[in-house]
Structure 1
Amino acid sequence: MTKLSRQFVHAALALLACACGSAREEGTGGAGGTGGAGGTGGAGASGSTSSSTSSGDTGGGGGLGMHPTEPSTPTRGGTMTFTNVGAPGWWPRRIDRASGDPACTYKDGTDTWGGHCCMKEQHTTSTTLAPFDEEMTLIMKAIRLKQLAIYQPGADASSWSMISSWDAKSGHGSNLVVTEGQMTSSDFTGDLTQKDCVNYFMQEASFACGDGKDYYCPSDPGINHLGWSGSKLIVFLASMTFDDAGVSKCDGGGQGHAGPWVAFVASELIRDGGRKWNGLCNCYSKTGSVGDGCGEINVFEVVLDNNQYSNREFMSTGVRSYQAGHVGGNVCGEGCDRDAFADDVEVVDACAKKAYTSGPEIEVGGDAEGCPVWRRPIGDRYFMILLDEKQREIQVAVIHPEKIPAAAAEMLPLLPGALSRNAIDALLSMRLPE
Structure 2
Amino acid sequence: MATTSTETAIPATRAAVILPWEKPEREHDVRTAEARLEEAVGLTSSIGLVVVMKAVLLLRARRPATLLGSGQVESLREAVAEKEVKVVVIDARLSPGQQRNLEKALGCKVIDRTGLILDIFGARAATREGSLQVELAHLEYQRSRLVRLWTHLERQRGGFGFLGGPGETQIEADRRMIGDRIVRLKRELEQVRRTRGLHRSARKRVPFPVVALVGYTNAGKSTLFNALTGASVYAQNQLFATLDPTMRAIQLPSGRRVILSDTVGFISELPTELIAAFRATLEEVSEADIILHVRDIAHPDSDAQKADVLGVLGDMERDHMLDGDWRSRVIEVLNKADLVGGPDAVSHANGAVPISAITGDGLPELMAAIDEHMAHAMEVVSYRLPAEAGAAIAWLYEHGEVTERKDHDLEVEIVARFRDGDRARFENQFGNFLVEEGKS
Provide the TM-score with structure 2 as the length reference.
0.24
Structure with the bigger percentage of strand: 1
Of Structure 1 and Structure 2, the greater helix share is in 2
TM, length-normalised to structure 1: 0.24
> Larger Cα Rg: Structure 1 or Structure 2?
2
